[in-house]
Amino acid sequence: MSIITHVLSNANGMAVTVTNLGCAIIKLEVPGNGEKLYDVALGLDKAEDYSGGHPFFGVVAGRFANRIGGGKFTLAGKEYQLDTNDGANHLHGGKGGFDKKVWTVAQSSAEKIVFVYESPDGDAKYPGNLTARVTYTLTADNTLRIDYNSTTDSITICNLTNHSYFNLEGHDAQNIMDHELEIVADHTTAVDETLIPTGELLPVDGTAFDFRTPKTIGRDLEEAGKLNNTAGYDHNFVLRGEGKAASVYAPQSGIRMTVFTNSPGMQLYTGNMMSPTKGKGTTYGRQSGFCLETQIFPDAINKPNFPSCVVEKGTPQEFYTEFKFS
């Protein structure tokens, strides 16, 4: 299957360049101050580059995004052992995750593209044949909507997210510290030293994780990193419910991005572990972009009190995320 690129565009000048390799968002061009277009997504030079090693720039992570402790889980009485590619844990679907797959283009137009991947039973050691459908839609009001639809012929687990790194001052601005962030969450999921949730929900009140009132990403970043040896934010926030999840404002470009979703959680990652990576005429370093990964909680299959990531035959798993720019 060939690797393609496709551009979504609207009358406002906003344009989104995507590829069927990992469903990656390569460019995300948004009007800012003075009607200047800013490419606000970190990315690589061309679609073919996404087959190599990179920090998951713009891709869809799956079959299970984020971490599974020890790569192990039990489902319908059977134990499964996945590959471990993050120390002792399984991360973003493993070495053969959805981000490395060439997806089928089922439909495309100036406003919409639909990607489909048929993940066979045993793919990356997951059970069940899973059909994953990801739809990108660009609306007239500068909203990029992502719809995730997953179906299976046998019980399995699934947790899809888009792993775009944003810098609302422009992808090559190199700094996100002055971005003002609001997150609509009263709790985070507590984690151990390997970033696997313990099952406890921690109140954000009085901590570095309190974004209920907007503050700059850089204000408490160092404190947050010390708490879990993450050198910054790499934490799942427990969202209050369907609707607005976050809002980010960049004072220099004047761009605001508001996130809406029906996912129960959202990972804030500030690129703390990024090695210098070349792409789109620049070199990206640590904390040159931030991710807001809407998701089911990490290690949900091993935590009975977490929202379920189980997909059963006849019952589609459906989530959406909207990134609205103004």
Q: 117: which strand partners?
A: 132
User: Which pair of tokens denotes residue 121?
Assistant: 């039973």
Would you call 293 a catalytic residue per the annotation?
yes
- Please tell me which residue in 6, 90, 92, 163 is annotated as part of the active site: 163
Q: Are 48 and 3 in contact (CB under 8 A)?
A: yes
Of these residues, 29, 169, 182, 293, which one is catalytic? 293
Nearest partner of 86 among 223, 285, 230, judged by Cα? 230
Which residues fall within 8 angstroms of residue 20, CB to CB, at 6 or more apart? Answer: 1, 3, 4, 6, 47, 102, 103, 104, 105, 115
Give the amino acid at 208. A
Which of 245, 234, 236, 240 lies closest to 181, judged by CA? 245
Residues involved in catalysis: 163, 293
